[in-house]
Amino acid sequence: MTWMRKLALTTALVAGLSAPVAAEDIKFGLLQDFTAVYTFVTGQYNQGQQDYLALLNAEGGIDGNTVTAIVRDTGNQPQRGIEAYNRAKEEGAILFDFLSTPVSAAVLDQIQADKNILITPAHGRGDASDGTVFPYVFPMMPTYWAQAATLIDHMKSTDGLDGKKIAFVHIDSPFGREPLPILEALAAEEGFEYQAFPYASPGNEQSAAWSEVRRYRPDYVMIWGAGGGQAVSVRTAIQNGVRPEQIHSVIWLAETDAANVGPAMKGVKRFEATASGTEHPILQRIQQQVIDAGKGSGDQANVGNSYYNLGVATMAIAAEAARLGLEGGQPLTGETLKAGFEKIAGYDAEGLLPAVTYTAEDHQGGGAGRVSEWDGEKWVPVSDWTVAYPDLIRRVIEESATKYKEGN
Amino acid sequence: MFYRLSGTYHTSYAADRKLWKIPADRWMVILLLILAVLAPLYVSPLYLGSYVLPWVIWSAAALSLTLLMGLAGQLHFGFAAVMAIGAYASIHLVRFGVPFELALLLSGLIAAAIGTVFGGAALRVKGLYLVMATLAMQYLVDWVVVNVPAISGGAHATLRTPEVSFLFVPVESLAARYWLALGWAVVLTVFFMNVKRTSFGRALVAIRDKDFAAAVIGVDPFRTKLMAFATSSFMGGVTGAILAYCFYRAVTPEQFGFNVSIQLVAMVLVGGLGSVIGSWLGAGFVLLMPIFLTNVVSGLAAGGWVPVSQNFLSHLPLMIYGAMIIGFLLLEPLGLAKIYDNIRKYFLVWPFRHARS
């Protein structure tokens, strides 16, 4: 009979240990590309995300609920992304960030059918900002259309645009061509002239495009690429007589690129959706409670980098959405998390972000951003957080979302 | 003992020409087929949708490629482009109003036509030079897809597959999609096993081994090489369409990039050139091993067994994977199929040592 008693006791003990505690564990799937195409950003970005979640848990979680990140490498391969998504979904994740356009595209329809949240900050489809067509997708941050508009708005504020010439130098891919409708529309409105100069992917060699740019004699230059090609763009531009101050970049230009270009980089401008540097309350607390406590998830030197802060910001917004989603007293699911996102109004992550507001229609969060300039050591903002040409951006988003409804 | 060879005599030509002459092999294949068909009943949706389904489809792709590379000896490093043609053609055909069944066949024919044009290079060049010609195909097709919005589907270059039904069964549920893919893979497998014994298959082998010698004995290299490209591209094109409708359901150019071509070549080489079981094993290895290793390593890391940075942790499975490929090829240069063959031969006569074949 002793064995029966032992068995009963053990069962009771095991059941007692695994019984659900009052607070639940919220799971986010950060299934990203650490090994293939997006390596220039993923390491720092994911480090920021994990460190922010560590800070959140150290400070007591979201109303006592802890947040766990499920982190996997997908190698930018859609079929691996689908596997990672299905597995994380089974493990209970309700929010996903793939940081990979092909993987996000492959999972998009499934994730909406499953009513889980897909966040696509600074990647993926811009038209997913239309929450009526993409109810469970949150681009969260300014789309590439909004980024292009913000850069043009900044050019306008510095020296005017009437009769000016803009050279748009971009990687020859759907991502590189994305701002073209914005340029087309604004050229007519603001009276400037522009020309597109594509270079072949991945952009290690761009001299052909830039000697064309030299002949075009532009007043402003916009560079639209990502990864190693960005440093090549800046370097080749300067070799071809473009002044650094004329160069305006998409969000993908960071400290690493500045280190690769060297001192010549001083004066180059880029779009930013989050502030960089460590002079922010959240970053300070991460430094004290996560990094100094030895709980950081990567190289300490990355803390405060542009992409690191971008990662921090994504998780800060997601955590705020989870907090608001839990307010109703219901358990957190994809649906309540979506409702939480749509309750966010004027949230600025203690100054790390422009104030963002999500509604059932607008999943971009307003699209505010600013322009910052490399001063030789760090990125210094040269404009305030602004929303440029919101009506135009919204129109482009809705046009594209309509096409998605039709099957593209 | 396991295969019970004693008493198995082939007394008629028909018995001697069976695909699986030994009853034990036959039963094994029948059992596997039954297990495969019933998979949706006992495999969880996670494993069916993320492992078994892609494995079946990629095996079909590897079979298509190994017809060209293994049987006919023509290297092809742009096979993902062939599949892309099939996928895009099938979607646009269905949208145009063509019934799905017919669209599958037509997309295969379109892929065959374009594949054969590029295969024309094989009439003049061999080996590495042919690799260059097929690489050109990969990049040309990629470029056309990306730069013609009418093909790729607008600014975001994503094309969703329309709702279709195959022989009145909607290709919608996971089980239906799996069965369609399995059906196509079985058709290709049976076709491949039989083509080896036809005059066309023997002509392909003759061309592979030495094309002028083949010409001397009356095999027309011109016709045979082009036929090899056409057949293989047809199979690849339909497989691409199956991949689009049954697995991805939203087609983007990245799904058929250069790295996918290399993966397909790796499947064929790791599995064993020109082998049916090699295509299945190779596809399984190349497709699923990185996923499996990633999950194992992440599991170990979660348990605190691998105290390294996230970055190194993500690359660790790749290192193990690379070492495994080198290891397998050192152990048996003829691929996984040969490893299977060695094991089978050992058990054919077990507990004795020497096998006839």
Interval A230-257: pLDDT, tens:
999 999 999 999 999 999 999 999 999 9
B187 Cα to chain A: minimum distance (Å): 24
Residue A403 lies in a domain: no
Q: Which of A46, A77, A177 sits opposite B310 (nearest CB)?
A: A46
pLDDT of residue B1: 67
B320 Cα to chain A: minimum distance (Å): 14
Residue B311 with chain A: CB contacts under 8 Å: 34, 43, 298
pLDDT of residue B355: 58
Residue A83 with chain B: CB contacts under 8 Å: 50-51, 291
B222 Cα to chain A: minimum distance (Å): 36
d(CA B88, CA B82): 10
Query: Which residues sit opposite B250 in a β-bridge?
Result: B160
**pLDDT exceeds cutoff 60 at B291:** yes
Residues 179-198 of A with CB under 8 A from B: 181
Cβ contact (<8 Å) for A102 and B295?
Answer: no
pLDDT of residue B96: 93
| CB distance A219 to A246 below 8 Å | yes
Output the domain CATH number for residue A287. Answer: 3.40.50.2300
- Torsion, Cα of A250, A251, A255, A260 (10° steps): -30
Query: Which residues sit opposite A190 in a β-bridge?
Result: none
Average pLDDT over residues A341-367: 93
Query: What average pLDDT does the structure give for chain B?
Result: 91
Residue A67 lies in a domain: yes
Which of helix, strand or coil describes residue A138?
strand
Cβ-proximal residues to B308 (8 Å cutoff; 6+ apart), any chain: B301, B316
Average pLDDT over residues A317-333: 92
d(CA A197, CA A208): 9
pLDDT of residue B187: 97
Residue A391 lies in a domain: no
**Chain B: residue nearest A39 by CA?**
B311
Q: Report how many Cβ contacts below 8 Å link chain A to chain B.
A: 108
Can you state the angle between helices B53-66 and B258-271, rounded to 10 degrees? Answer: 80
Interface test mutation site (partner A, options B96, B311, B318, max chain A beta carbons within 10 A): B311
B51 lies within 8 A of chain A by CB: yes
Which of helix, strand or coil describes residue A158?
helix
Q: Which of A76, A80, A109 sits opposite B290 (nearest CB)?
A: A80
| CB distance A95 to B237 below 8 Å | no
Residue B163's alpha-carbon distances to A125, B45, B110, B249, in angstroms, are: 22, 21, 22, 9
B3 lies within 8 A of chain A by CB: no
Chosen domain end from A204, A238, A272: A272
Query: Which residues sit opposite A67 in a β-bridge?
Result: A26
pLDDT of residue A19: 39
Cβ-proximal residues to A403 (8 Å cutoff; 6+ apart), any chain: A127, B154, B155
- Torsion, Cα of B281, B286, B289, B294 (10° steps): -170
Cβ contact (<8 Å) for A105 and B156?
Answer: yes
Which residue segment(s) compose the domain that A202 sits in? Answer: 144-272
pLDDT of residue A408: 67
Residue B248 with chain A: CB contacts under 8 Å: 78, 106
H/E stretch holding A97 reads strand A93-97
Cβ-proximal residues to B110 (8 Å cutoff; 6+ apart), any chain: B85, B86, B89, B237
Q: Which of A71, A83, A102 sits opposite B50 (nearest CB)?
A: A83
Amino acid at B297: V
Cβ contact (<8 Å) for A407 and B317?
Answer: no
Q: How many CB atoms lie within 10 A of CB A245?
A: 14
Residue B309 with chain A: CB contacts under 8 Å: 297-299
Interface test mutation site (partner A, options B96, B145, B158, B313, max chain A beta carbons within 10 A): B158
A125 lies within 8 A of chain B by CB: yes
Q: What is the pLDDT of residues B175-233, one digit of tens each?
A: 999 999 999 999 999 999 999 999 999 999 999 999 889 999 999 999 999 999 999 99
**pLDDT exceeds cutoff 80 at A398:** yes
Residues 11-40 of A with CB under 8 A from B: 34-36
Q: In total, how many domains does chain A have?
A: 2
pLDDT of residue A5: 52
d(CA A250, CA A230): 9
Please check whether residues A259 and A278 belong to one and the same domain: no
Q: Which of B154, B254, B290 sits opposite A78 (nearest CB)?
A: B254
Residue A374 lies in a domain: no
Residue A301 lies in a domain: yes
**pLDDT exceeds cutoff 90 at A369:** yes
d(CA A247, CA A269): 6
Cβ contact (<8 Å) for B46 and A403?
Answer: no
Cβ contact (<8 Å) for B158 and A173?
Answer: no
Please check whether residues A152 and A266 belong to one and the same domain: yes
**Chain B: residue nearest A88 by CA?**
B46
HSE, CB side, 13 Å, CA atoms: give it for residue A76.
20
Strands B165-166 vs B159-160: parallel, antiparallel or unpaired: unpaired
Residue A286 lies in a domain: yes
A231 Cα to chain B: minimum distance (Å): 22
B250 lies within 8 A of chain A by CB: yes
What is the token pair recorded at A50? 């994990």
d(CA A77, CA B252): 12
Cβ contact (<8 Å) for B248 and A106?
Answer: yes
Q: Which band of pLDDT confidence, cut at 50, 70 and 90, is reported for residue B160?
A: confident
Task: Note the maximum CA span of chain B.
Answer: 67
**pLDDT exceeds cutoff 70 at B318:** yes
B285 lies within 8 A of chain A by CB: no
What is the token pair recorded at B222? 């011109």
Number of residues assigned to chain A = 408
- Torsion, Cα of A147, A152, A154, A157 (10° steps): -160
Cβ contact (<8 Å) for A105 and B153?
Answer: no
DSSP string of A228-266, one letter each residue: HHHHHHHHHHHHTT--GGGEEE-S---HHHHHHH-GGGT
Query: Which residues sit opposite B305 in a β-bridge?
Result: none
Amino acid at A298: G
Residue A390 lies in a domain: no
Give the whole-number percent of chain B exceeding pLDDT 70: 98
A106 lies within 8 A of chain B by CB: yes
- Which among B122, B119, B63, B76 is positioned nearest to B279, based on CA atoms? B63
Please check whether residues A291 and A346 belong to one and the same domain: yes
What is the token pair recorded at A270? 């880029």
pLDDT of residue A232: 94
Average pLDDT over residues B89-101: 95
Please check whether residues A186 and A232 belong to one and the same domain: yes
Please check whether residues A149 and A254 belong to one and the same domain: yes
B276 Cα to chain A: minimum distance (Å): 23
H/E stretch holding A194 reads strand A193-199
Q: How many CB atoms lie within 10 A of CB B337?
A: 24
| CB distance B54 to B287 below 8 Å | yes
Average pLDDT over residues A321-335: 91
Residue B310 with chain A: CB contacts under 8 Å: 34, 43, 46-47, 50, 71, 297-298
Which of helix, strand or coil describes residue B4?
coil
Cβ contact (<8 Å) for B160 and A407?
Answer: yes
Please check whether residues A114 and A158 belong to one and the same domain: no
Residue A126 with chain B: CB contacts under 8 Å: 156
B211 vs B41: which has the higher pLDDT: B41
**pLDDT exceeds cutoff 80 at A16:** no
DSSP one-letter code for A65:
B
Residue B298 with chain A: CB contacts under 8 Å: 71-72
Specify burial of residue A189 (Cβ count, 10 A radius: 0-12, 13-18, 19+). Answer: exposed
H/E stretch holding B169 reads strand B169-170
Cβ-proximal residues to B254 (8 Å cutoff; 6+ apart), any chain: A76, A78, A101, A102
Query: What average pLDDT does the structure give for chain A?
Result: 90
What is the token pair recorded at B342? 């060695």
| CB distance A34 to A43 below 8 Å | yes
Domain ranges of chain B: 18-256
Q: What is the pLDDT of residues B51-90, one digit of tens each?
A: 999 999 999 999 999 999 999 999 999 999 999 999 999 9
- Range with the poorest average pLDDT among A66-70, A326-330, B135-139, B153-157: B153-157
What is the token pair recorded at A364? 């971009």
Residue A181 with chain B: CB contacts under 8 Å: 155
Chosen domain end from A272, A287, A313: A272
d(CA A390, CA A337): 26
Cβ contact (<8 Å) for B309 and A34?
Answer: no
Residue A87 with chain B: CB contacts under 8 Å: 46, 50, 295
Please check whether residues A164 and A304 belong to one and the same domain: no
**Chain A: residue nearest B296 by CA?**
A72
Residue A78 with chain B: CB contacts under 8 Å: 248, 252, 254-255
Average pLDDT over residues B244-270: 92
